[in-house]
Chains A and B, each alone.
Chain A
């Protein structure tokens, strides 16, 4: 099915499609979690202010949340992207090998949860300089998708702060590099998220695939010789149709709850029966 057809599905049809997407039990599909930044915050009521953007690494995705986002919008973004990643990982565990198929499943799940996504059309990113930084190329793609308005600017500032936080956080950066880089290939997503004044979640999504001649163990925050790396990518700006998400929200929570608890129980088992 072409994506234009997915966009034209009625709300009920999307919800029905999503209803068939049951999550697997925990196996290879679980992406890890880590927070991006660890500010030493001493206020009794933590609410990120400007400059304190926060976010999470979910597997090979860096998600930043604009400080003024409501908890409803933030939850919708985190739940839906996490769900889509688990779904795609389960269908295609070897993302590097099956990149197109992986993104096909990811797009399906996101679309059925209410995101107005277009298909991933990866284009090779050309560079005329002798050296290249993959993170800068990714930011350039994001900026082009962000558009000229104020919302795009806020999201770009958010992802820049998020990448700076990622560099400073050993735990988050370690998780991201482990999940995104396999030998001389790497793929990852950058996702700054915000919220319109009417409550609609808004995300810039940048997906990148890289092939390198050398294995440096990570792909971001280092300079590459231009001849040593090829970069393909896609960036788009998308909004969530909350009327659709509201239809599937309870199932998303239910499925994720089951999925996460099964993972928790694999690590922690009560050794005795309760009294």
Chain B
């Protein structure tokens, strides 16, 4: 697989690779990833449900139909928020779940992704605002999204809070494009600010 065919991004804590998207597809996909990130962060902060659960359920509601799915428990210590362990989980998931061609794309992407994650203050893990100990860092959530054709999307989400890695292969139904383009009018600016090319 030729890396030059991919446009790659860093958005919040998600690494994104889009294969030859047109501008409408590109915008719709990036808005979907950004908006679902905000929803999932909200869910974690209000302790409603695990980050990854909200993230993946929101994708499904945006007409990303599941073609295959696997979940993997990465450790049994939900208190652990060690970024290195989360990075190791992501790399293991890439090797375990992605087809061979996409593994190469992910390998190219993850090195600058983790470097940027460490360097950029705006992408530090969420802090609990209402926590008495403001220095306490919430669990680190990571995501890798690859779109390899007009319909096929691969997602790996690492939820350190829930101690698991979730893999999904989605097929995007046509209804997604219209819905997603309309989704994020009120947060477009914030998403644009967070969006960086890798």
Contacts and interface: CB of A to CB of B under 8 A. Distances in A.
A38 B173 contact: no
A185 to B, nearest CB: 28
A260 B68 contact: no
B150 interface: yes
A57 B31 CA distance: 26
B65 A35 contact: yes
Given A38-B66, A268-B61, A253 B99 contact: no
Interface residues of A, number: 37
Interface stretch (B86-94, B112-120, B137-145, B183-191): B183-191
A46 interface: yes
Contacts of B177: 253
Interface in B156-192: 169, 171, 173-175, 177-179, 181-183, 186-187, 189-190
Interface string A237-267: 0000000000000000110111011011001
A223 B14 CA distance: 50
A47 B149 contact: yes
A74 interface: yes
Contacts, number: 98
A275 interface: yes
A154 to B, nearest CB: 20
Given A47-B149, A56-B173, A264-B61, A274 B186 contact: yes
Interface in A51-79: 54, 56, 71, 74-75, 78-79
B63 A268 contact: no
Contact of B182 (A47, A79, A257): A257
Interface of B: 1, 38-39, 42, 45-46, 54, 58, 61-63, 65-68, 99-102, 148-152, 169, 171, 173-175, 177-179, 181-183, 186-187, 189-190
